[in-house]
Chain A
Amino acid sequence: MHPSGPAPAVEALDLRKAFERIHAVDGVDLDLRPGRIYGLLGPNGSGKTTLIRLLAGLSKATSGEARILGTRMPSRPMLGRIGYMPQSEALYPDLSVAENLGFFAALQGARTRAAIDRVLELVELSDRKGSPVLELSGGMRRRLSLACTLVHEPPIIFLDEPTVGVDPALRVQFWAHFRRLAAAGATILVASHVMDEADRCDELLFIRAGKVIAEGTGAELRAKAKTDNLETAFLQFAGLDAEGRPVDGSPAQ
């Protein structure tokens, strides 16, 4: 992708993960550079979450390797430089907003009040500091979850469907913030199955059945597929027709 430029922040070399007979990640190569937002797009069950877990060192690859800032994963010291937002809520419902955030901040080694206040400001939860998570709406929980991911200002950020349940106005703010983080040098990988978020990314990775089927900027992929619609482009790269059925005899997944 980048013959020159800064050293890769996130790398995957023929990364594979098999669960019994299912190849969830099936030979993925990646080379993600600092300062950019990458969109990982694919349908449910295509391997997005498994790929992110491998990259974040939460799961051990069956073969191949993942590297963060040049260090082979899983590596515990590297975890402090990663921000990972899981797809599930992953918050303590009995604890308050501030207590949840304080807990994850302490584990990450970022225990300054300023860092906590700053990130609460960002997700607009400053006035709900004392509320137990139990009382928050789904969207507020997503915001708190994002705050827990970013509180230690990690240079590598993995976001698994970060904007699910977030209203459009806040979604715009989320993306504006992702952009600021990238401008400050962070490497961001956002998994999504919503194609309309794709254009906010610098580069896209289409993933299907554990394989990267296409990669490039939105414009490049559109040009290659000769369509203006990314969804149509995805179907075309996946070898499916406009109604999602396989064309030219390639197997349905």
Chain B
Amino acid sequence: MSARRVLAVARRIAEGFRRDHRSLALLFIAPLFVTALLGWVLRGSVAGTIDLVVAGAPAALVDALESAAADPDLDVEVRIEAIDDADGARGAVRDGDADVALIVAGSGANVGLTIVTQGADPTTEGGQLGVVQALISGAAGALLPIPGARLPEISRETIYLSPDADQLDALAPVFLGIFAYFFVFILTGISFLRERVGGTLERLLATPVTRAEIVLGYSIGFSFFAAIQVVVLTLFILARVEVPALGPIPAFTIGLDVQTAGSPAIAFIVALLMAIGAVNLGIFLSTYARTELQIVQFIPLVILPQALLGGVFWPVERLPDVLQAIAHVLPVTYAVDALREVMIKGADFGSSVVQLDLAVLAGIAILFVVLGAGTIKREVA
């Protein structure tokens, strides 16, 4: 073992880093950037107000709920609106005008309470549910004829997913669009970088091929595999296949059996639009990389912020204003929104939300196609 040779190797690494300013910068800046962004998302996100609509409750109960909501120990603002009819309350929750509906039926000892939420985002709604339950306990006096009697059982109702839906039911459909987007971006980025570095792009451009032909060919080639990926992932998310025990292998199930409401076909179109955008984003960004390592370096800069801000884990409306503005220019935001609308809320092409999301995604895909094609002949004029 020669210390001299060991040091020579170590020194070679250090010299390589010194030349590769980008890797060096990334080594220090990327973790700071991502951590700061995460901190901003988590700390800066507003807890939000809870819009509670109360249907069929006596005035005394509404008053008691309001005074419970005014308790300074409650760290979230609750706005209470009282209406008469239970279906109106459900409609308000479905349309997003209210977060939670409390439906009171009967009175006295026969009182029945139902709490209704959308059932689209189990985590957020779970928090809201806890707050509303606390209010009901606080207002118990107004509800119960005899002091000390037991609170009636509160039944749960959701508009979309079932009340027992877990976080996976809400997240899995959203992953459909995200995976195709990120994988296709990385694959195309590396593939096109090889074309540039390996000289095959030069040879390509020495033939009568047009930029549009290259971009279209790339889009079809990679979207084909993205399409297969989406189909496989969709089947895995939706299916539940029992595999019987076979000799020493115990029985197991394949598939997540996630509850969904909408058409996987529309989800497929969303994923495909994302993939086409990703192909051309990869072509575009490959201009700004010299090595495959540098393509991989785009992950913390391009992909992670999109995963954080796009509404996958936190609702976009709860982000700080600045981040919300950024989220609204990211394609992921629209894909997540469309996938939620379709897969969880069962929306179809008739939904104006889905139409808008698809239009924006198509627009972004076209923008990336233009950007990608624009970089192809740059060195060649």
Contacts and interface: CB of A to CB of B under 8 A. Distances in A.
Given A79-B208, A108-B208, A90 B203 contact: yes
A88 B207 contact: no
A58 B200 CA distance: 13
B147 interface: no
Contacts of B200: 90-92
B198 A107 contact: no
Nearest to A77: B208
Given A58-B380, A59-B381, A74-B381, A104 B207 contact: yes
B355 to A, nearest CB: 39
Nearest to B201: A90
Contacts of A104: 203, 207
Contacts of A90: 198-200, 202-203
A60 interface: yes
Contacts of B204: 107
B207 A107 contact: yes
Contacts of A76: 208, 210
Contacts of B202: 58, 86, 88, 90
B217 to A, nearest CB: 10
Contacts of B198: 88-93
B245 interface: no
Nearest to A78: B208
A60 B206 CA distance: 13
A33 B206 CA distance: 21
B203 A86 contact: yes
Interface residues of B, number: 14
Contacts of A58: 202, 205-206, 380
Contact of B209 (A89, A107, A148): A107
Contacts of B207: 79-80, 104, 107-108
A58 B209 CA distance: 12
A56 interface: yes
A107 B207 CA distance: 6
Contact of A60 (B199, B203, B210, B381): B381
Contacts of A91: 198, 200
Contacts of A178: none
A82 interface: yes
Contact of A86 (B199, B209, B210, B381): B199
Nearest to A91: B200
A160 to B, nearest CB: 10
A84 interface: yes
A244 interface: no
Contacts of A165: none
A108 B210 CA distance: 12
Interface in B166-222: 198-200, 202-210
Given A89-B199, A90-B200, A92-B200, A82 B381 contact: no
B206 A79 contact: yes
B208 A56 contact: no
Interface of A: 56-60, 74, 76-77, 79-80, 82, 84, 86, 88-93, 104, 107-109, 148
22 contacts: A57-B206, A58-B202, A58-B205, A59-B380, A60-B381, A74-B380, A74-B381, A79-B207, A80-B208, A82-B206, A84-B203, A86-B199, A86-B202, A86-B203, A88-B198, A89-B198, A90-B200, A91-B200, A92-B200, A93-B198, A107-B204, A108-B208
Query: What 10 pairs between A and B have smallest CB-CB spacing?
Result: A60-B381, A90-B199, A88-B199, A84-B206, A107-B207, A90-B203, A80-B208, A79-B208, A107-B209, A90-B200
